[in-house]
């Protein structure tokens, strides 16, 4: 059940790309609130399409057109357009790092209407939408799948494509720390670095560069974290939350909270970590992590979200305490 794409699916994806004329409209789409994998795999592949001679390639994602500052300088960022400027009726649609159509917002219709579409993803919870499905739950990042398709299309790696794919790979492996960091991940990283990109420089820009206000905000939100040793069948749960008012007080955009889960999940006394981030009045984006005791993907899917076994998310409603009550109950139902 965790098998990657079949030879037929790879062939169908190559055929779908080759079915487009060089002047046809090609729309690339990644998930709402894009992260390094969503943007890196999409832009790296978009640059590959340019190398093949395709002249009309656009990249977008649903919702507010906010590209996190560290990603604004990615090669291929000039392919990005806000959702309203996406091609209305593209000949070919390619989708990156999207576990379910809900993460495409109104752009899901663009995918359904296109004569050809290819979904590149690595979420175990992928719901199986789209035309040709290249979904590999064993892949550490969607950029692994993008690399597989680029090589089958005969596009050689160059430093620009490599930088995009490297950012995606480094993001989704937690800088080569997570379980998915396999031999083949390091082999791909080696091929990417061999193009001449500078991993130290890239990591500094992507992971180790934050506004002072974001650091202060992180301090305040971490300061209100709660440890519940009895939760998760006694394996422990730690949680915190951040409101829109918190963001406003420090003058920060929502995406600065995307990495807040990392210090929270490092708490030794808790298997499960939770960060509840306000999106709108009564609406919260919930990040879940486990060290192995809980299938948090199951928790997220039961709430209409998705993700991986040890890293998942969903949208919750009410007060943060309501969301945490729900998570506490569901975690007990999804103990491994």
Task: Say whether residue 36 binds ligand AMP (CB under 6 A).
Answer: no
How many whole angstroms separate alpha carbon 246 and alpha carbon 54? 44
Task: Say whether residue 136 binds Mn ion (CB under 5 A).
Answer: no
Q: Quote the strand ranges of the chain, DSSP E.
A: 25-30, 56-60, 92-96, 116-121, 132-135, 226-228, 237-242, 272-280, 283-290, 306-307, 311-317
Stretch that binds ligand AMP, among 46-54, 194-202, 226-234, 310-318 (CB under 6 A): 310-318
Angle at 278 between CA 276 and CA 279, to 5 degrees: 130
Contact residue for ligand AMP among 16, 26, 103, 157 (CB under 6 A):
103
How many whole angstroms separate alpha carbon 237 and alpha carbon 226? 8
Residue nearer to Mn ion on the CB measure, 97 or 163: 97
CA-based nearest residue to 5, from 130, 162, 164, 168: 130
Half-sphere exposure of 328 (CA within 13 A, CB side): 17
Task: Say whether residue 142 binds ligand AMP (CB under 6 A).
Answer: no
Residue nearer to ligand AMP on the CB measure, 157 or 167: 167
Stretch that binds Mn ion, among 140-148, 177-185, 258-266, 311-319 (CB under 5 A): 140-148
Look at phi and psi of residue 233 and say left if phi exceeds 0, alpha if psi is from -120 to 50, else beta. left
Contact residue for ligand AMP among 313, 320, 330, 334 (CB under 6 A):
313
Provide the minimum distance between the beta carbon of 226 and ligand AMP in the complex, in angstroms, as a whole number.
18
**311 contact, one of Mn ion, ligand AMP, none, CB 5-8 Å limit per kind:** ligand AMP
Stretch that binds ligand AMP, among 138-146, 149-157, 303-311, 328-336 (CB under 6 A): 303-311
How many whole angstroms separate alpha carbon 149 and alpha carbon 7? 11
Positions in the binding site for ligand AMP (CB under 6 A): 99-100, 103, 123, 261, 287, 305-308, 311-315
């Amino acid at each position: 059940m965790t098998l990657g794409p079949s030879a037929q699916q790879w062939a169908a994806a190559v055929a779908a790309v080759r079915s487009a004329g060089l002047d046809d409209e090609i729309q690339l789409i990644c998930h709402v609130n894009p992260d390094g994998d969503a943007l890196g795999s999409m832009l790296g592949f978009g640059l590959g399409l340019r190398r093949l001679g395709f002249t009309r390639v656009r990249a977008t994602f649903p919702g507010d057109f906010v590209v996190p500052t560290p990603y604004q300088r990615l090669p291929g960022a000039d392919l990005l357009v806000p959702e309203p400027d996406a091609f209305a009726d593209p000949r070919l649609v390619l989708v990156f790092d999207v576990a379910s159509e809900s993460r495409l917002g109104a752009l899901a219709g663009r995918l359904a209407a296109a004569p050809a579409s290819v979904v590149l993803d690595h979420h175990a919870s992928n719901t199986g939408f789209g035309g040709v499905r290249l979904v590999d739950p064993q892949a550490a990042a969607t950029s692994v799948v993008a690399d597989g398709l680029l090589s089958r299309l005969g596009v050689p790696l160059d430093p620009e494509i490599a930088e995009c794919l490297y950012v995606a790979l480094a993001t989704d492996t937690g800088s080569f720390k997570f379980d998915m960091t396999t031999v083949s991940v390091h082999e791909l990283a080696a091929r990417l670095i061999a193009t001449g990109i500078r991993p130290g420089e890239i990591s500094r820009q992507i992971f180790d560069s934050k506004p002072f206000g974001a650091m202060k905000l992180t301090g305040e939100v971490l300061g209100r974290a709660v440890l519940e040793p009895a939760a998760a069948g006694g394996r422990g749960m730690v949680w915190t939350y951040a409101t829109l008012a918190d963001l406003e007080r420090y003058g920060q955009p929502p995406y600065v909270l995307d990495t807040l889960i990392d210090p929270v999940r490092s708490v030794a006394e808790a298997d499960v970590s939770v960060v509840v981030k306000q999106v709108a009045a009564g609406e919260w984006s919930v990040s879940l992590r486990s060290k192995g005791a809980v299938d948090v993907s199951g928790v997220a899917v039961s709430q209409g979200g998705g993700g991986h076994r040890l890293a998942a998310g969903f949208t919750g409603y009410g007060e943060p305490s309501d969301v945490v009550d729900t998570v506490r109950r569901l975690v007990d139902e999804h103990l491994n």
